[in-house]
Amino acid sequence: MTPVIDTTMMLLILSNMALLGLSRLRSCIAVASFQGMLLGLFTVFAHMQALTLRILLIAATSFILKGFVFPRLLRRSIREASTQNEMEPYVGYSMSVMAGMGMLGAALWLGSKLPLNPAAGMDFVVPTGLTTFFTGLFLIVARKNALTQCLGYIILENGIYAIGVISVVEIPALVELGILLDAFVAVLVMGVAIYHINREFDHIDTDQLDTLKG
Amino acid sequence: MHYEIVLWLALLVPFVIGLICTILPSVRIALGAMCCCVFGTCVAGLAVIWHVFQHGAVFTVSNWLFLDGLSAYHYLVMLLIYCLSSAYAWVYFGEELRQGHFTRRQARLFSGLWCESFAAMSLVLFSNNLGVMWVGLEATTLITAFLICIHVSRESMEAMWKYIVICSVGIAFAFMGTLLVAASARGIVSQDALLWTILRDNAARLDPKLMKAAFIFLLVGYGTKAGLAPMHSWLPDAHSKAPAPVSAIFSGFMLNAALYCIMRYIPITESATGGTGWALHLLTGFGLLSIVVAAVFILFQKDLKRLLAYHSVEHLGIIALGLGLGGLGTFAALFHTLNHSLCKSLSFFAAGRLGQMFGSYDMEKMAGSFRASPLWGAGIFGSILALIGIAPFALFMSELQLVKAAVDSSSMAALILFLVGSGVVFVGALQHAIPLAWGRPKGMLKPLRFTALEALIVVIPLALLLVLGMWMPESLSAALKNASGIVQSTLPAEVVVFSGYTP
Amino acid sequence: MQTAGYMNIILGLVFAPLLGGIINRVKAVFAGRTGQPLLQPYYDIYKNFRKGAVYSTTTSWLFRAGPIVGLAAALVALCLVPVNGATAPLAFTGDLLLFAYMLGLMRFFTVLAALDTGSSFEGMGASREVFFSALAEPALLLGLATVARRTGTLSLSELLAATSATSPELVLVLAALGIVFLCENARIPFDDPTTHLELTMIHEVMVLDHSGPDFGFIQYGAALKAWVLGSVIVGLILPVVGGNFLLLNSVALLGGMFLLAVVVGVIESTMARLRLIRVPQLLVAAGSLALFAFILSMR
CA distance C172 to chain A (A): 9
Report pLDDT for B421.
92
Between the alpha carbon of residue C100 and those of residues C97, C103, C141, C186, C202, the distances in Å are: 5, 5, 7, 17, 21
Q: Is the pLDDT confidence value at B501 over 50?
A: no
Confidence of residue B500 (pLDDT cuts 50, 70, 90): very low
CB contact under 8 A, B182 and A168: yes
Report pLDDT for C122.
87
CB contact under 8 A, A104 and C281: no
CB contact under 8 A, A212 and B161: no
CB contact under 8 A, A105 and C295: yes
Q: Using CB atoms and an 8 Å cut-off, which of residues 171-200 of chain C contact chain A?
A: 172
CB contact under 8 A, A200 and B131: no
Listed in sequence order, the residues at least 6 apart from C291 whose beta carbon sits closer than 8 Å to its beta carbon are A101, C138, C142
CB contact under 8 A, B131 and A157: no
Q: Is the pLDDT confidence value at B448 over 70?
A: no
Range picked from B12-16, B353-357, C87-91 for highest mean pLDDT: B12-16
DSSP B228-253: -TTS-THHHHHHHHS-HHHHHHIIII
Rounded Cα distance, C127 and C125, in Å: 6
Domain residue ranges in chain A: 2-202
Q: Residue B258 corresponds to which amino acid? A: A
* Main-chain dihedrals φ then ψ at residue B127, nearest 5 degrees: -85, 135
CB C119 within 8 A of CB C238: no
Residue C137, Cβ density class (10 Å: 0-12 exposed, 13-18 middle, ≥19 buried)? buried
Report pLDDT for B403.
92
Report pLDDT for B496.
38
What average pLDDT does the segment B465-484 reach?
Answer: 87
Report pLDDT for C274.
86
End-to-end CA distance of chain A: 54
Residue B119, Cβ density class (10 Å: 0-12 exposed, 13-18 middle, ≥19 buried)? buried
CB C66 within 8 A of CB C112: yes
CB A17 within 8 A of CB A97: yes
CB B121 within 8 A of CB B43: no
Structural domain count, chain C: 1
Report pLDDT for B272.
85
Q: Given B128, B161, B191, which residue is the final one in a domain? A: B128
Lowest mean pLDDT among A169-173, B196-200, B310-314: A169-173
Confidence of residue C244 (pLDDT cuts 50, 70, 90): low
Q: B58-59 and B66-67 as β-strands: parallel, antiparallel, unpaired? A: antiparallel
Report pLDDT for C101.
92
CB C16 within 8 A of CB C252: no
**What b-and-e string marks burial along B231-243, b requiring 16 or more CB atoms within 10 Å of the CB?**
bbebbbbbbbbbb
Q: Which of C232, C80, C250 shows the shortest CA–CA distance to C160? A: C232
Report pLDDT for A99.
92
- With residue B378 as reference, give the H or E element that holds it: helix B374-387
**Residue B340 sits in the same domain as residue B191:** no
CB contact under 8 A, B129 and A175: yes
pLDDT in tens, A121-147: 677 888 999 999 999 999 998 888 888
Q: Which residues are bridge partners to B189 per DSSP?
A: B186
Structural domain count, chain B: 3
Q: Is the pLDDT confidence value at B488 over 90?
A: no
Q: Is the pLDDT confidence value at B276 over 90?
A: no
Rounded Cα distance, B447 and B357, in Å: 8
Lowest mean pLDDT among A77-81, C88-92, C160-164: C160-164
**Residue B201 sits in the same domain as residue B293:** no
What was the ipTM of the complex prediction?
A: 0.88
CB contact under 8 A, A93 and C168: no
**Residue B124 sits in the same domain as residue B143:** no
What average pLDDT does the segment B194-222 reach?
Answer: 87
CB C210 within 8 A of CB C218: yes
The partner residue sitting opposite A6, judged by closest CB among C168, C281, C285, is C168
**Residue B121 sits in the same domain as residue B136:** no
B442 CB near a chain A CB, below 8 Å? no
Chain C interface test: which of A2, A4, A5, A10 (most C C-beta within 10 Å): A10
**Residue B122 sits in the same domain as residue B135:** no
B296 CB near a chain A CB, below 8 Å? no
CA distance C21 to chain A (A): 35
Q: Which domain holds residue C262?
A: 2-298
End-to-end CA distance of chain B: 32
**Residue B317 sits in the same domain as residue B437:** yes
Rounded Cα distance, C224 and C216, in Å: 12
CA distance C284 to chain A (A): 6
CB C286 within 8 A of CB C136: yes
Query: HSE-up of A161 (CA within 13 Å, CB side)?
Result: 33
Confidence of residue B239 (pLDDT cuts 50, 70, 90): very high
**Residue B441 sits in the same domain as residue B353:** yes
* Main-chain dihedrals φ then ψ at residue A205, nearest 5 degrees: -90, 105
Q: Is the pLDDT confidence value at B41 over 80?
A: yes
Which residues of C are less than 8 Å from A104 in CB distance?
Answer: 292, 295
Confidence of residue A175 (pLDDT cuts 50, 70, 90): low
B58 three-class SS:
strand
Which residues of C are less than 8 Å from A94 in CB distance?
Answer: 280-281, 284
B293 CB near a chain A CB, below 8 Å? no
Q: Is the pLDDT confidence value at B498 over 50?
A: no
CB contact under 8 A, B192 and A182: no
CB contact under 8 A, C285 and A21: yes
Which residues of A are less than 8 Å from B180 in CB distance?
Answer: 114, 116, 167
Between the alpha carbon of residue B228 and those of residues A149, B265, B272, B289, the distances in Å are: 23, 17, 24, 8
C291 CB near a chain A CB, below 8 Å? yes
Confidence of residue B289 (pLDDT cuts 50, 70, 90): very high
Report pLDDT for A49.
76
CB contact under 8 A, B160 and A193: yes
Range picked from B54-63, B362-371, C126-135 for highest mean pLDDT: C126-135
Which residues of C are less than 8 Å from A100 in CB distance?
Answer: 288
Mean pLDDT score of chain B: 86
Residue B3, Cβ density class (10 Å: 0-12 exposed, 13-18 middle, ≥19 buried)? middle
Which residues of A are less than 8 Å from B189 in CB distance?
Answer: 170
What average pLDDT does the segment A179-195 reach?
Answer: 75
pLDDT in tens, A38-50: 998 988 888 777 7
Report pLDDT for B290.
94
Between the alpha carbon of residue A159 and those of residues A166, A174, B382, the distances in Å are: 12, 20, 49
A122 CB near a chain C CB, below 8 Å? no
Rounded Cα distance, A90 and B197, in Å: 46
Lowest mean pLDDT among A58-72, B482-496, C165-179, C219-233: B482-496
**Residue B498 sits in the same domain as residue B456:** yes
Confidence of residue B444 (pLDDT cuts 50, 70, 90): low
Rounded Cα distance, C133 and B212, in Å: 46
CB contact under 8 A, A10 and C299: no
User: How many beta-carbon contacts under 8 Å exist across A and B?
Assistant: 121
Global pTM value: 0.85
Higher-confidence position of B158 and A207: B158
Rounded Cα distance, C230 and C233, in Å: 5
B297 CB near a chain A CB, below 8 Å? yes
CA distance C175 to chain A (A): 12
Which residues of A are less than 8 Å from C291 in CB distance?
Answer: 101
Residue A71, preceding peptide bond in cis (omega within 30° of 0): no
What average pLDDT does the segment B35-61 reach?
Answer: 85
Rounded Cα distance, B415 and B427, in Å: 18
pLDDT in tens, B91-119: 888 888 888 888 888 888 999 999 999 99
CB contact under 8 A, A175 and B194: yes
Output the CA angle A100-A103-A104, nearest 5 degrees. 90
pLDDT in tens, B396-413: 989 999 999 889 888 888
Torsion of CA B472, B477, B479, B483, to 10 degrees: 120
Q: Which residues are bridge partners to A24 per DSSP?
A: A85
Range picked from A195-209, B59-73, B288-302 for highest mean pLDDT: B288-302
Q: What percent of chain B has pLDDT over 90?
A: 34
**Residue B116 sits in the same domain as residue B189:** no
Between the alpha carbon of residue A141 and those of residues A184, B107, B131, B326, C196, the distances in Å are: 21, 35, 26, 35, 44
Angle between helical axes of A2-21 and A146-167 (0-180°, round to 10): 160
CB B159 within 8 A of CB B144: no
Count Cβ atoms below 10 Å from residue C122 Cβ, excluding itself.
22
Torsion of CA C237, C242, C244, C247, to 10 degrees: -20
Q: Is the pLDDT confidence value at B493 over 60?
A: no
B161 CB near a chain A CB, below 8 Å? yes
Q: Which domain holds residue B183?
A: 131-276
Report pLDDT for B503.
40
Are 3 or more Cβ–Cβ pairs between C and B shorter than 8 Å?
Answer: no
Query: Residue C284's closest chain A neighbor by CA?
Result: A94
Rounded Cα distance, A149 and A90, in Å: 13
B59 three-class SS:
strand
DSSP A67-105: IIIHHHHHHHHHHHHT--B----SS-HHHHHHHHHHHHH
Within chain A, strands assigned E span none
Which residues of A are less than 8 Å from B176 in CB distance?
Answer: 133, 160, 163
Chain A interface test: which of B155, B165, B217, B239 (most A C-beta within 10 Å): B165
| DSSP letter (8 states) at residue B254 | I
**Residue B121 sits in the same domain as residue B154:** no
Higher-confidence position of B234 and A92: B234
Q: Which of C120, C136, C137 shows the shortest CA–CA distance to C205? A: C120
| DSSP letter (8 states) at residue C81 | P
What average pLDDT does the segment C84-96 reach?
Answer: 80
C239 three-class SS:
coil
pLDDT in tens, B351-376: 998 888 888 888 888 888 887 788 88
Q: Is the pLDDT confidence value at B346 over 70?
A: yes
Residue B280, Cβ density class (10 Å: 0-12 exposed, 13-18 middle, ≥19 buried)? buried
A201 CB near a chain B CB, below 8 Å? yes
Report pLDDT for B294.
93
Rounded Cα distance, B17 and B14, in Å: 5
Q: Given B221, B251, B276, which residue is the final one in a domain? A: B276
pLDDT in tens, B243-275: 999 999 999 899 999 999 999 999 888 888 887
